Amino acid sequence: KLYGLAAEYAGLTGTEKLFDLYCGVGTIGLSMAREAGQVWGLEIVPEAIENAKRNAKANGITNARFLAANARTGMRPLIEEAGQPDVVTIDPPRAGLSAKIVRRLIECEARRIVYISCNPTTLAPNAAQLVEAGYRLTRVRPVDMFPQTPHIECVAQFDLVGEVRYVESPSAAKRRERDERRQAAKEAGQ
């Protein structure tokens, strides 16, 4: 049910380039590969990438490639190699995404992001950052994968509305303000 819902939210028609971030052994991307033009999976664990490649081969899937890399540092090289994605699926750890990784995700400029979260508490700040950058939270649905426990998965669909608005990180804003003060002091001292 979870992956079926993610596929529904992805809305693939057969031509899209799909990035599957935190892909693990490729389950999400491979489950959508027959409806996508290309699937590119990114995962930090090399053994998981090898398993993803084996899973693709075992299932006769030829339009999927998998790369072993950290999400923060691997997205830019992935875009350089594959080009910009149309759709991104992301299934991060319980801690969610750091603000830097969300900025990298925004830089992809995908028209749609499907975020699968095992922790709605960490999804919330990530969602706020995506919305601030120009994405609309189109729909979100909880999925009770663990009955009788407090744990819940949820699938959220974000659609890009217009152009991406790049939002300055707090550390970049502090550096810019510091540099502006230094420049003003320098000019005042001349």
Two tokens, residue 85: 């994605």
pLDDT the model gives residue 109 = 93
Kindly report the backbone phi and psi dihedral angles of residue 23, in degrees, each rounded to the nearest multiple of 5, phi listed first: -75, -15
- Can you give the pLDDT at residue 83? 95
> What is the pLDDT, as a whole number, of residue 176?
77
Per-domain boundaries in the chain: 2-165
Ramachandran region of residue 45, left (φ > 0), alpha (ψ -120 to 50) or beta?
A: beta
Question: Can you give the pLDDT at residue 169?
Answer: 65
Instruction: Tell me what pLDDT residue 168 has.
Output: 66
- Please list the ranges in the chain whose pLDDT falls under 70: 167-172
Give this prediction's pTM: 0.86
Q: Output the six-digit token pair for 57.
A: 């081969």
Beta-ladder partners of 137: 158
Q: Is CATH 3.40.50.150 correct for 2-165?
A: yes
Q: What is the reported pLDDT for 184?
A: 86
> Catalytic residue numbers?
118
Q: What is the pLDDT of residue 87?
A: 98
For residue 60, which amino acid is it?
A: G
